[in-house]
Amino acid sequence: MEQQLRLLIVEDVAAEAELAVRALTAAGLDCDWQRVESETEFRAGLRERPDLVLSDFSLPGFDGMSALAIATAEAPGIPFIFVSGTIGEERAIEALRHGAIDYVLKDNLARLAPAVRRALQEVASRRAQQQAEERVARLSRVLQMLSGINSAVVRVRDRSQLLEEACRIAHAVGGYVCAFVVLIDPHTRIASTAAWAGAGRDRMDEFSFRFEDSGTSEKGESITGRALRTGETAVCDDLARVAGPWRFAETLKVLGIRCIASIPLLIDGTPVGTFTVAGDEAGTFGDEEVGMLQEVAANLSFALQYLHKEDAVRFLSYFDPLTGLAKRGLFCERLARSLGWHAGESQEVVVVAFDVARLGAINDSLGRHVGDRVLQCVADAIRCNFGGSEWLAHLEGGSFAAVVLDCGSYEESVRLIHDRITAAFGKPLAIAGHEIPVTVRAGLARYPENGADADGLLQNAEAALHKARNTGERFLRYRRELSAEVADRLALERRLRTALDGNQFVLHYQPKISIATGELVGAEGLLRWNDPQRGIVPPAVFLPVLESTGLIVDVGEWVVRQAARDLARWSDLGLKPIRLAVNVSPLQLRDPEFCARFLAAAARAAGGVAGVDIEITEGALLDDTVFLSRRLQVLRDEGVRVAIDDFGTGYSSLSRLADLPVDTLKIDRSFVSRLAGDKAVQAVVRTIVSLARAFDLSTVAEGVEREEELSLLRDLECEQSQGYLHSPPLAVAAFEALLARTPEPRFP
């Protein structure tokens, strides 16, 4: 016999109901059944929540279609089958359209048992699907709660405000009936509520009690008390099943709470409080949800520790504010502690570094805000698939890292990483109305053969990732034979990241000279790196790395600030007023926030942008002209002049000059160096000068090194000259000395 089937039969003839039950019993179904024949009886029977309704179609005082309408409205999850001798095809179709599962003729009851089994299977499948969907929706809410609280941890400095915000987000976003934080007073040992959101806030003072760490369970101990005493997560998934006295249980039941989870807040391994959430349905707290709650508690614990020490700067340096994940330093600290705890053991530890491909293209095409949301979604996805945040890091840009522990073998670790990344990014991300596919490449390093410490493991995982990018492989294990070029490149990237924070960049200035008068009329600011180990590093060595890593955006902002500071200082010293031009890369121009960042950087440094100009490469003109024109026009409206650098080497400039708000064309040094004796090059330069004059633009020749070149440029009516003939790029002190010797110009 199968599990007992509870039937509600709508039938005015008892013998007909008995025949239907007999047919089901003969087919192996164990039936507990009730017969009704009126609407009142039917409604009462539905309230008993039967497994299935069997109904005749025509009854003297009540009809089957009315019964179907009532069942559909009041108990939509209960399958409904017509068993009738009078139903015709049209009526049968109408019944199915209105929600009936099937119909069986009374003279063919052999069909009844298969129809019932099929209906029950369909309902079971539908319920299972609904429970998957509900679980996913719930975990999604909890994941959003986790992200929100992580953001608050980074953003909020006041302890009380942080705890209140965490509880508010847990209630409003996580969907919990209530959420509260209990803290222990270290002097009185009294545990009391420090923050509360949701149901019962007006009764929060009841949740205070003296806490003694006796090491043993007390009779009637609450879930919160147990978490405080043991330092371990405590869960009660159904309050209705709690037997015996249990502190606060009645209060919680009055609030409509059916389940509760309390996670300890630990500082240096010692419980100092708990983060507690409560739900209105039993069975809420699965392993995945508890894991996310533990991550919330861990981050709150970390915040409490550093807020208590009033060391907010150090705290912020540990976490990435966008994703809430650990930065490189904290990630390596955690990994180092783990390796230390298991020193001497045969432990399988694999570090994986991976990144999101084409993040720059996403930023460019859809906007920086969409790119940021992609990173947040990526962080959420890896949290779900790598078991929380403790062993995760957001390194920078689109790069992340994770640790995989305790697999049986390296091969198993590789398979696990592959499966988790595939699960995380197998489908496109739905963001702001866009379906965004995410492609991930990964590099793996294994302890101890690929690194005996945390830093070495992560660096070698990044080396493997770097190689994977170049070769197009999806997953690449670190090997000693990875090229020295990759290792050198990674080392250079790390040193450049340090260079910006360490004030190692400097600006040198190369004068621009009026060809007609010989006077200094401006200068170009050229970036130099004063490496403590190697001295001044040539731009060709580090500029491509700044571009490829995206660091050029932050470094470019520093360049604007420094140029504005120098101009302001020279003005205060009474030196000759000039204009300074700084180079702007295509990557910077693609940033939707470029204009705001440029103007803000100049304004912070000097109170305005007067005198700071920009130079863009001709290659930048290949981007969207409309958006580029708008951004350049915003700058020109603020007094910034725009020059096209290396003009004449590109392909599309001539057709776009009329559409672009520019002021100056800079003639590329490749033309200048061939001016003498090359009539064709002279014709090209003459054309560029004529073109500039037609568009009311000025011209500057780059790379002028010989008097003959300068003389020809004068004949061709080029306006300004820049090159070693006049001066090499000068350090700021030398350039200031040059300004001090330069007389005022005789023209505006």
Higher pLDDT, 718 or 321: 718
Query: Which string of DSSP letters, residue by residue, matches 307-324?
Result: HHTT-HHHHHHHB-TTT-
Q: What own/partner pairs with CB < 8 Å and gap ≥ 24 does 685-688 have?
A: 685/713, 685/716, 685/718, 686/716, 688/647, 688/648
User: How many whole angstroms separate alpha carbon 514 and alpha carbon 493?
Assistant: 39
Q: What own/partner pairs with CB < 8 Å and gap ≥ 24 does 650-654 have?
A: 650/618, 650/619, 650/621, 650/622, 651/622, 652/621, 652/622, 653/618, 653/621, 654/691
Give the fold, CATH level 3, of 319-482: Alpha-Beta Plaits (3.30.70)
Instruction: Check if CATH label 3.50.50.60 holds for domain 5-127.
Output: no
Q: How confident is the model at residue 133 (pLDDT cuts 50, 70, 90)?
A: low
| Tally of CA atoms within 13 A in the half-sphere of 616 that contains its CB | 24
Q: How large is the average pLDDT for residues 713-732?
A: 94
Q: What is the per-residue pLDDT across 244-291, written as a single tens digit (0 to 9) for each?
A: 555 566 677 777 888 899 999 987 677 888 999 998 888 888 887 888
134: Cβ–Cβ under 8 A, 6 or more apart, which residues? none
Question: What pLDDT does 342 receive?
Answer: 62
Question: What pLDDT does 606 receive?
Answer: 56
Six token digits for residue 91? 């009526």
User: How many whole angstroms separate alpha carbon 132 and alpha carbon 135?
Assistant: 5
Question: What pLDDT does 215 receive?
Answer: 39
Q: How confident is the model at residue 346 (pLDDT cuts 50, 70, 90)?
A: low
Q: How confident is the model at residue 387 (pLDDT cuts 50, 70, 90)?
A: confident
**DSSP type of residue 66:** H
CA 159 to chain centre: 25
Q: How large is the average pLDDT for residues 576-585?
A: 91
Q: How confident is the model at residue 348 (pLDDT cuts 50, 70, 90)?
A: confident
Question: What pLDDT does 217 receive?
Answer: 41
User: How many whole angstroms separate alpha carbon 699 and alpha carbon 429?
Assistant: 48
For the chain, the farthest-separated pair of C-alpha atoms sits apart, in whole angstroms, at 119
Q: Phi first, then psi: what are they for 365, rounded to 5°?
A: -85, -35
Whether 514 shows a pLDDT value over 50: the answer reads yes
**DSSP type of residue 659:** G
Bridge-based pairing state of the strands 102-105 and 80-84: parallel
Q: How large is the average pLDDT for residues 401-417?
A: 83
Q: In the block, which residue shows the tokens 């197009």?
A: 472
Question: What pLDDT does 745 receive?
Answer: 42
Instruction: Check if CATH label 3.40.640.10 holds for domain 156-314.
Output: no
Candidate ranges 228-242, 436-450, 489-503, 711-725; pick with highest mean pLDDT: 711-725
Q: What is the per-residue pLDDT across 557-570, written as a single tens digit (0 to 9) for each?
A: 999 999 999 998 99
Question: What pLDDT does 206 receive?
Answer: 63
Least confident stretch, 93-107, 209-223, 447-461, 573-587:
209-223
Beta bridge partners of 192: 183
Helix or strand run (H / E) with residue 267 = strand 259-267
Query: Which string of DSSP letters, residue by residue, matches 76-141?
Result: TTS-EEEEESS--HHHHHHHHHTT--EEEEGGGGGGHHHHHHHHHHHHHHHHHHHHHHHHHHHHHH
For residue 381, give the nearest of 373, 59, 240, 602 by alpha carbon.
Answer: 373
User: How many whole angstroms separate alpha carbon 692 and alpha carbon 449?
Assistant: 62
User: How many whole angstroms separate alpha carbon 173 and alpha carbon 152?
Assistant: 13
Question: Hey, is 260 helix, strand or coil?
Answer: strand
Whether 201 shows a pLDDT value over 60: the answer reads yes
Q: How large is the average pLDDT for residues 682-710?
A: 89
Question: What pLDDT does 167 receive?
Answer: 94
Q: How confident is the model at residue 605 (pLDDT cuts 50, 70, 90)?
A: low
Q: What is the per-residue pLDDT across 25-45, written as a single tens digit (0 to 9) for each?
A: 988 888 899 999 889 999 999
User: How many whole angstroms separate alpha carbon 6 and alpha carbon 34?
Assistant: 8
Q: How confident is the model at residue 581 (pLDDT cuts 50, 70, 90)?
A: very high
Question: What pLDDT does 562 receive?
Answer: 92
CA 370 to chain centre: 10
Q: How large is the average pLDDT for residues 461-466?
A: 88
Least confident stretch, 133-147, 527-541, 683-697:
133-147
Q: How large is the average pLDDT for residues 148-157?
A: 80
Q: How large is the average pLDDT for residues 581-597?
A: 85
pLDDT > 90 in the chain, percent: 22
- To 10 degrees, the CA torsion angle through 650, 651, 655, 657? -10
Q: What is the pTM of this model?
A: 0.44
Question: What pLDDT does 703 receive?
Answer: 92
Six token digits for residue 241? 């099943």
Higher pLDDT, 279 or 650: 279
Whether 497 shows a pLDDT value over 90: the answer reads no
Question: What pLDDT does 154 receive?
Answer: 75
108 burial via Cβ count (<10 Å: 0-12, 13-18, 19+) = exposed
Question: What pLDDT does 483 receive?
Answer: 47
487 burial via Cβ count (<10 Å: 0-12, 13-18, 19+) = middle
Helix or strand run (H / E) with residue 209 = strand 209-210
297: Cβ–Cβ under 8 A, 6 or more apart, which residues? 263, 264, 265, 266, 274, 275
Helix axes 14-26, 112-155, angle to 10 degrees: 80
**DSSP type of residue 3:** S
Q: Measure CA of the first residue to CA of the last residue in the chain; give whole Å.
A: 104
Higher pLDDT, 254 or 530: 530
Contact indicator for 208, 181 with CB cutoff of 8 Å = no
114: preceding bond cis by omega (within 30 degrees): no
Kindly list the distances between the CA atom of residue 16 and the CA atoms of 92, 105, 106, 380, in Å, as whole numbers in the listed order.
19, 12, 8, 58
Question: Hey, is 475 helix, strand or coil?
Answer: strand
Candidate ranges 345-354, 432-441, 570-579, 718-727; pick with highest mean pLDDT: 718-727
What does CATH list as the number for 499-741?
3.20.20.450
User: How many whole angstroms separate alpha carbon 183 and alpha carbon 171?
Assistant: 19
Average pLDDT taken over every residue of the chain = 82
Question: What pLDDT does 337 receive?
Answer: 80
Q: How confident is the model at residue 345 (pLDDT cuts 50, 70, 90)?
A: low
Do 319-482 and 156-314 fall under one CATH topology? no
C-beta atoms surrounding 708 within 10 Å:
13
User: How many whole angstroms separate alpha carbon 153 and alpha carbon 239?
Assistant: 31
Q: Phi first, then psi: what are they for 437, rounded to 5°?
A: -70, 140
User: How many whole angstroms separate alpha carbon 316 and alpha carbon 63?
Assistant: 70
Sequence spans of domains, the chain: 5-127, 156-314, 319-482, 499-741
Beta bridge partners of 193: 182
Question: What pLDDT does 481 receive?
Answer: 59
